[in-house]
Amino acid sequence: MAESHVDLGFIEKTEPSKLTCQQFPSKVGGKPAWLSLSPLPSPNQLQCSKCSAECIFLLQVYAPVEEDENAFHRTVFVFLCKNPDCHQPNSQDPFVVVRSQLPRDNDFYSSEPPTPMTPAPTKGDKLCVVCGISGPKCCAKCHSRSYCSKEHQTIDWKTGHKKNCSESCEDMTTDSSQILFPEYELQIEEEELEKEEEKSEAEKKDELRSFLDSDKANSLLPDCSPGDLEKMSNQSTDKVFLKFRKRLEHAPDQVLRYERGGNPLLVSGENKPDDIPKCTCGAERQYEFQVMPQLLSHLGVDRMEASIDWGTLCVYTCSKNCYHGNQYQQEFLWRQDYSNQV
């Protein structure tokens, strides 16, 4: 991905075979398609810092950095806690981000580009059969199924393993649909903007007025009356919000914006990201991508977890792209919600 422009991510239903680790996918939901296959982040590293539950895989972005031979392959993974109580406005507590990088010659994959026939790598840590993160625990009776946690072992036991334990059950799949998010490919395309001429203030005002009168304003912000919008447009905070909405009009289905080293498109002028912690290597972190609120409608959370919600999730990664061999490096997610006035 080039760095001078924004790339957008769109959701696409696709064959599960295109989303395996050896295809180096960008994807949403299902189980993570790990890049380095050992050592994986421990279940502890992927715990919610609020309630200590195992976080669930949300998405991953495959984003190699051309000029860095240790980032020939590079993927950033985002996990979140599904406990609605952990999701407070502007709080990053229920999110975990990790980054993995590999050189072209590495312990897991061929140095040649993958084909649809590329076989799955044979090396790697055991995975939790329920959620797909590292599974250091196993069923004490049959020793053939691995789990990240007691909770997920219990789920597997109740949803079928109780019946099948002691039979040969390595290949049995668990019904993880209650746990995992629906799985999609994340297709990355360049953002295209029509060239906007400099507009006069009067033209801008007219435009805003007709936008506010249109159905579009309603569909972009259904729980907001046109009066609210009018009020908003007079406040500086909400100019940021209107800019956000305006930019999205070019491609309303985008679920991700990618611009490593660029700037996120904020949803509000309040609570700006000015306190991003440095990487453990000592380097500053820089903005890499943001997850848009449009993704929520594809996750089935409206139905299940009423309060999982966000304005935008901005992921910041090490500007030096520090390399730790096959180890995963923790990165930082900063969450911004719509301002209270909305």
- Site residues (CB under 5 A) for Zn ion? 48, 50-51, 53, 81, 83, 86, 94, 128, 130-131, 139, 141-142, 148, 152, 165, 279, 281, 283, 318, 322
In whole angstroms, the minimum distance from the beta carbon of 86 to Zn ion comes to 3
Strand, helix or coil for residue 251: coil
In whole angstroms, the minimum distance from the beta carbon of 145 to Zn ion comes to 6
Q: How far is Cα 163 from Cα 313, in angstroms, rounded to an integer? A: 41
Strand, helix or coil for residue 71: helix
Choose among 219, 268, 289: nearest CA to 60.
289
- Measured from the CB atom, is 41 or 94 closer to Zn ion? 94
Q: How far is Cα 256 from Cα 20, in angstroms, rounded to an integer? A: 20
- Measured from the CB atom, is 91 or 294 closer to Zn ion? 91
- Measured from the CB atom, is 21 or 48 closer to Zn ion? 48
Asked if 299 and 181 touch (Cβ cutoff 8 Å), the reply is: yes
In whole angstroms, the minimum distance from the beta carbon of 142 to Zn ion comes to 3
Q: How far is Cα 32 from Cα 165, in angstroms, rounded to an integer? A: 25
In whole angstroms, the minimum distance from the beta carbon of 117 to Zn ion comes to 30
For residue 280, what is the DSSP state? T
In whole angstroms, the minimum distance from the beta carbon of 134 to Zn ion comes to 9
The secondary structure of 2-21 as a DSSP string is -SSS-EEEEEE---GGGGSG
Q: 39 preceded by cis ω (within 30°)?
A: yes
- Measured from the CB atom, is 191 or 305 closer to Zn ion? 305
Strand, helix or coil for residue 210: helix
- Measured from the CB atom, is 139 or 308 closer to Zn ion? 139
- Measured from the CB atom, is 165 or 242 closer to Zn ion? 165
In whole angstroms, the minimum distance from the beta carbon of 148 to Zn ion comes to 3
